A and B are shown apart, each in its own frame.
Chain A
């Protein structure tokens, strides 16, 4: 969806301060982010000059620097720019949970997170969960309980469940698991086995 453009050469000359309307700081050092000319260009989609934002974040423990269109979501950036395709795009509207990742240890929706806002943050995706070849207990439990059918929602379910236990203290009953996992929709309705998997994994994790 979001076209990523390189701001072309020769766009300097007007100060960034001016462009950003005074004391605002750009998300990071963005030498190509310049000038009123570019602001106008940015308003016309036919021109290639959308001011880029440099993001410096830790993704699955490794430092990453990537220049993104300010419109780029974290989801698209992970998938299209960092080749981390484990995080899935279901609705792209905050309604299904397929895109769930952790930012600073909390579960969030990467489809409604602008990549530009993640500078200085720690992002964890499904690819960052296993310890080498050793699956995370939540992944292992999903395998053992067959907590999936088509598997499309599974990375989101697992990321959500891990944070539900690690960050939020877990759930005390099946009903509570269901309530606290309600942000992750499973189109195949594999819910009973998803609940089984989470109940078991939680015991290992706690």
Chain B
């Protein structure tokens, strides 16, 4: 690990003072400490933000507010989350391990870095880690990599499970910088790799995530997160689906759908949502609606199974949701 200075911030203002490209904010550390050990990330200053008052899970008429430093395990266990946003609790519980969920924060989760093995290995070319050096995954081992939103420069998957239901539910991220505060839709918070895969989101170096708001909706309460992976637990997704439906009788009046494991960012599937809306919630509707879910996919040598697996993941998620009531 490279040397750095360490300090604890007592307030958001303190944390932001002097923050720049060489600063790393430390929350749970489950991404940051790992990547500092690998020397993939080499900050000069580490600012510990764990004692900032960015906690709290509250539900009001606007929606669910979660502080950036709330831990994954606490949010997953929160009664309001379990009752009104089941797929958020499920996505969290299906992430990582109990120990990691006790450590990891919601803000850190949204900013976790890709698990692409080349990104984590400083001896190999990687445009995300070292712009312009090339992408080892294009013709390397790319089984876990993305098929949607990719570019010639990078095909890394966004690994967060939590971000998938959050994107489906039109979540807003709240940010603070020395210039003030702003709120950004999570969907546009994440950027596509294009020719600059080192840039993953619109967060500036002197900006903190302070929290998120998930709007209130009738469909959020009828939702499900399904994760498909190589082993049953403690593994990242090959594919995943966050599905939320509002029904009137048997008719789908609203649908919110997003996918994980397949995109360079959490992937909202608005075309599938449209194809479901106004139709009866039947297997035939589900099958028909997902036909075009992976349109535009660009599979590589080892991940050509993902478009078909995505469609089947979506159908299974919709079917399980439908059968659960």
Residues of A whose CB lies within 8 Å of any CB of B are 1-2, 19-27, 39, 42-43, 45, 50-51, 53, 70-71, 73, 92-94, 97, 100, 106-109, 112-114, 116-117, 160, 163-164, 168, 178-184
Contact = CB atoms under 8 A, between A and B. Distances in A.
Contacts of A1: 1, 37
Contact of A109 (B8, B13, B50, B99): B99
Interface string B6-48: 1111110111011000000010111001101100000011111
Interface residues of B, number: 41
A21 B103 contact: no
A71 B102 contact: no
A71 B99 contact: no
B34 A70 contact: no
A183 B100 contact: yes
A106 to B, nearest CB: 5
A53 B48 CA distance: 13
Given A97-B99, A112-B30, A160-B98, A71 B3 contact: yes
A112 B6 contact: no
Contacts of B8: 24-27, 117
A54 to B, nearest CB: 11
22 contacts: A1-B37, A2-B1, A19-B5, A21-B17, A23-B14, A25-B9, A42-B3, A43-B44, A70-B46, A71-B4, A108-B99, A114-B6, A114-B33, A114-B46, A114-B48, A160-B99, A163-B98, A168-B98, A182-B97, A182-B233, A183-B96, A183-B97
A117 B29 contact: yes
Contact of A180 (B5, B18, B30, B98): B98
Contacts of B48: 27, 114, 116-117
B98 A23 contact: no
